[in-house]
Amino acid sequence: MKLVNRNVVDLLVFNDEGNLITEMNTLRDSQIFYNKETESYYIGVSDVAFNLDLHKFLHSEEKLSDFELAVRGYANSISVKKPTNKKVKLIGKTVSRNIDNEEDLDVGFQCHNAEISDELTIGFSYIHEHNFDYIFKINLDSNNDYFKLIIK
């Protein structure tokens, strides 16, 4: 079977307890790659949108009362601290075409033990100057797997 990608991956990001943080459905690029120096797999993604839900998870979110919101005039405030890594679980979903029979198949991957650094780069231009907006490091899970590829 030979598969050709038809869509960009939608990436669902869960916290370590399995609760959904965000669905990254505005990605323009994604890649799973292996780094020989660190002997680890990574998932790099480029997003056309600033994912506020992911940044609230990565950085401390300031809790404001309704009064403070009214006085300040905005609803979201994120305090960026010293970068750390946060444990996450990932599910990637896409559609690929089986070129042997021209049938579309659901293709995806699951990572049960990953982490993301909360290092922050914010660009305010249409020009995309860096490779990936977010990089997830994939760690071995309890079954000694990095990730599972799934083809339906």
Q: Which domain holds residue 39?
A: 3-151
Count of domains observed in the chain: 1
pTM for this structure? 0.79
Residue type present at position 19: N
pLDDT band for position 117 (cuts 50, 70, 90): confident
Q: Which of 30-34, 56-60, 87-91 has the highest mean pLDDT?
A: 87-91
Which phi and psi (to 5°) does residue 89 adopt?
-120, 145
SS3 label, residue 94:
strand
Beta bridge partners of 12: 23, 91
What are the φ/ψ torsions at residue 70 (nearest 5 degrees)? -65, -40
Task: Say what the pLDDT of residue 46 is.
Answer: 86
